[in-house]
C-alpha cells in the first residue's frame, strides 16, 4: 500500500550581516533545524533521528566535496541516511527535488526527507573585498577559490555558444524576451513597461516579507524600468533590477514525511500540507537547437502535466507563485496558463499588503449610534498596476471627507499603507502620510 506524503515543517534563514560570514552549509543547517522545530517541538528528537533522505540544491557560493554528507554529519543523522543527492544548478531544482522526495515517501523508500538549499554570496563578496579568501572557518573547498564565483561569470564550456560568447543567463533570457516581444508585435517601450510593472508587483511583496533579502526596500515600476547610474543596462532589454540577484545570504529547508509516520510522531494534522503532484521537462541545453525563442515547450508541457497529475485546472488555483529569475520566465508561464502577465484577479504573486498611490473604487462610512462617523471602508486600486485592495480610513481628515459627502469620493486619488499595529490591515488617506 502506498503512503501519502505531507509537508510537516519549513524553515527560512536570512543572514543580513555580510561581515558575519556564515557559509552556505551553516545557513542550510540552521534552516533544517528551524524546519524540524516547526514540525514539532515535542517530537523534535524522534523526527530528527528518522531522517533518511537529504537532497541539496547545488550552491553557487562554495565548492563542497560532499555537501549532503556534511549536512548529515552535522545533523548527527549520517548513520540513518539511505539517500543523499546534490543537484545540478538551476531554479527548477527545488521543485524537482521536492517532487522526487515526495515520490520516495509515497513508495515507502523514505520515511523522512529533507530538501534544502542556500547561498552566502553576499558574505563571500565581502570577504573577497577584504582579501579574506577563503573566509575564516569555512569548510575546506573541493577546488581552489581565488575569486567570487557567480552564475554570470561561469565557464561556458567548449561549444558553439561559448565560441560566440553567448550562454550565460544574462544572455539567454534577454534573447527570449526580445523574441517574445517581437512575436506579439509589442513595442520596446510597452515591453519595458510590462516588465517593470511585473517586477514592481514582486517588489511590493518582497519588501513586506521577513525573509526576503530586499525586505523594506520597495522599487516602483519607474525605478525598475529606467536605466540609471544605480540601474545600469546589463543586456537589452534588462537593466540591473530586472536581472536575477545572487548576492544574498539565504537558505531554506522543507521536511516531508508520510501521513502514517506523522501520526506515529504525534504531529498535529493542522501542520500537514498535502502536495498534489509535480512534473518537469527540459528544453535543449544547446539553446541554439530550440525550435524558437518566443515560447518554451518545456514550461508549457511541465505546467500541463503538473495540472493533469494533480487533477487540477487553472481555474482551481487560488495562488500562483512562478519562479522569476528574469521577467520572461513568468511571462511565458502566464501565457501558457492563459493568465495576464500583470494585474488581473489572480496576479502571479498575490498582493495582500498594498502600499502606494491608489484610486478609490468604492467606499462606505460606518457611523456610531450618536451619528458620528466611526470607520471608513475603502475598496481601491493601486495606480501602478490596477491591483485591488481593502483598507480603512488612515486619518481623521480622510474619515471626515468621506462622511461629509460634499464631493465624489469614487475615483479620487489617495495613498494606502499597512497598519503597524494590525498585521494585514490597510489604511487609506487622501493626503500622503509622512511614512511614504
- pLDDT block averages, 10 residues each, the chain of length 436: 93 94 98 96 92 97 96 97 95 96 97 98 93 92 73 65 79 90 91 96 93 95 96 92 95 98 95 96 88 92 96 90 93 92 63 81 83 87 80 93 86 91 88 84
Which pLDDT belongs to residue 406? 77
Beta partners for residue 379, in sequence order: 362, 390
Asked which of 349, 369, 391 is the last residue of a domain, the reply is 349
Task: Give domain status of residue 435, yes or no.
Answer: no
Structural domain range at position 53? 5-145+248-271
The set of cell numbers assigned to 376 is 471608513
Q: Kindly report the CATH number assigned to the domain that includes residue 391.
A: 2.40.50.840
Asked whether residue 416 falls in the same domain as residue 330, the answer is no
Distance of alpha carbon 21 from alpha carbon 139, whole angstroms: 12
Asked whether residue 329 falls in the same domain as residue 378, the answer is no
Helices and strands: H and E segment counts in the chain: 13, 12
Asked whether residue 131 falls in the same domain as residue 208, the answer is no
Task: Give domain status of residue 424, yes or no.
Answer: yes
State in Å, rounded, how far the first CA of the chain is from the last one.
58
Asked which of 333, 349, 365 is the last residue of a domain, the reply is 349
Residue 242, CA distances (Å) to 19, 224, 295 in order: 27, 7, 19
Task: Give domain status of residue 434, yes or no.
Answer: no
Asked whether residue 186 falls in the same domain as residue 326, the answer is yes
Task: Give domain status of residue 321, yes or no.
Answer: yes
Task: Give domain status of residue 119, yes or no.
Answer: yes
Strand bridging mode 388-393 / 83-86: unpaired
Domain count, the chain: 3
Asked whether residue 205 falls in the same domain as residue 295, the answer is yes
Distance of alpha carbon 35 from alpha carbon 12, whole angstroms: 8
Which pLDDT belongs to residue 424? 77
Asked whether residue 204 falls in the same domain as residue 324, the answer is yes
Asked whether residue 88 falls in the same domain as residue 208, the answer is no
Which pLDDT belongs to residue 344? 65
45 Cβ partners below 8 Å, 6+ apart? none
Q: Kindly report the CATH number assigned to the domain that includes residue 177.
A: 3.40.47.10
Asked whether residue 159 falls in the same domain as residue 223, the answer is yes
Distance of alpha carbon 40 from alpha carbon 265, whole angstroms: 9
Which pLDDT belongs to residue 350? 42
Which pLDDT belongs to residue 151? 52
A 10 A CB-CB count for 183 gives 12
Amino acid at each position: 500500500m502506498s503512503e501519502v506524503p505531507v509537508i510537516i515543517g519549513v524553515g527560512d534563514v536570512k543572514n543580513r550581516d555580510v561581515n558575519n560570514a556564515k557559509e552556505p552549509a551553516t545557513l542550510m543547517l540552521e534552516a533544517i533545524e528551524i524546519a524540524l522545530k516547526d514540525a514539532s517541538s515535542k517530537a523534535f528528537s524522534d523526527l530528527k533521528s528518522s531522517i533518511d533522505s537529504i537532497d541539496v540544491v547545488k550552491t553557487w557560493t562554495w565548492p563542497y566535496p560532499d555537501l549532503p554528507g556534511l549536512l548529515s554529519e552535522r545533523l548527527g543523522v549520517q548513520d540513518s541516511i539511505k539517500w543523499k543527492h546534490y543537484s545540478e544548478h538551476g531554479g527548477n531544482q527545488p521543485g524537482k527535488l521536492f517532487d522526487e522526495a515526495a515520490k520516495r515517501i509515497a513508495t515507502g523508500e523514505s520515511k523522512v526527507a529533507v530538501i534544502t538549499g542556500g547561498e552566502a554570496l553576499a558574505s563571500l563578496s565581502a570577504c573577497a573585498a577584504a582579501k579574506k579568501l577563503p573566509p575564516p572557518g569555512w569548510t575546506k573547498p573541493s577546488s581552489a577559490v581565488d575569486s567570487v564565483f557567480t552564475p554570470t561569470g561561469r565557464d561556458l564550456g567548449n561549444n558553439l555558444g561559448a565560441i560566440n560568447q553567448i550562454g550565460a543567463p544574462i544572455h539567454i533570457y534577454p534573447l527570449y524576451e526580445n523574441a517574445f516581444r517581437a512575436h506579439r508585435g509589442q513595442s520596446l517601450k510597452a515591453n519595458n513597461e510590462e516588465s517593470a510593472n511585473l517586477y514592481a508587483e514582486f517588489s511590493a511583496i518582497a519588501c513586506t516579507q521577513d525573509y526576503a533579502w530586499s525586505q523594506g526596500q520597495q522599487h516602483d515600476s519607474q525605478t525598475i524600468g529606467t536605466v540609471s547610474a544605480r540601474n545600469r543596462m546589463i543586456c537589452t532589454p534588462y537593466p540591473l533590477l530586472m536581472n536575477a540577484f545572487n548576492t544574498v545570504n539565504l537558505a531554506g529547508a522543507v521536511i516531508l514525511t508520510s501521513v502514517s509516520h506523522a501520526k506515529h510522531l504525534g504531529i498535529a494534522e493542522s501542520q500537514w500540507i498535502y502536495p498534489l503532484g509535480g512534473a518537469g521537462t527540459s528544453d535543449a541545453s544547446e539553446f541554439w537547437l530550440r525550435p524558437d525563442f518566443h515560447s518554451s515547450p518545456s514550461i508549457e508541457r511541465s505546467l500541463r502535466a503538473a495540472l493533469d497529475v494533480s487533477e487540477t485546472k487553472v481555474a482551481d488555483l487560488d495562488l500562483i507563485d512562478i519562479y522569476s529569475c528574469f521577467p520572461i520566465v513568468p511571462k511565458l508561464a502566464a501565457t501558457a496558463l492563459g493568465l495576464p502577465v500583470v494585474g488581473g484577479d489572480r496576479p502571479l504573486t498575490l498582493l495582500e499588503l498594498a502600499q502606494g498611490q491608489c484610486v478609490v473604487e468604492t467606499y462606505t462610512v460606518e457611523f456610531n449610534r450618536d451619528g458620528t462617523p466611526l470607520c471608513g471602508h475603502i475598496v481601491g486600486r493601486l495606480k501602478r498596476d490596477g491591483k485591488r485592495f481593502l483598507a480603512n480610513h488612515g486619518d481623521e481628515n480622510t474619515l471626515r471627507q468621506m462622511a461629509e459627502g460634499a464631493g465624489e469620493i469614487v475615483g479620487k486619488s489617495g495613498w494606502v499603507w499597512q497598519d503597524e499595529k494590525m498585521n494585514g490591515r490597510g489604511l487609506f488617506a487622501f493626503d500622503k502620510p509622512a511614512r511614504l
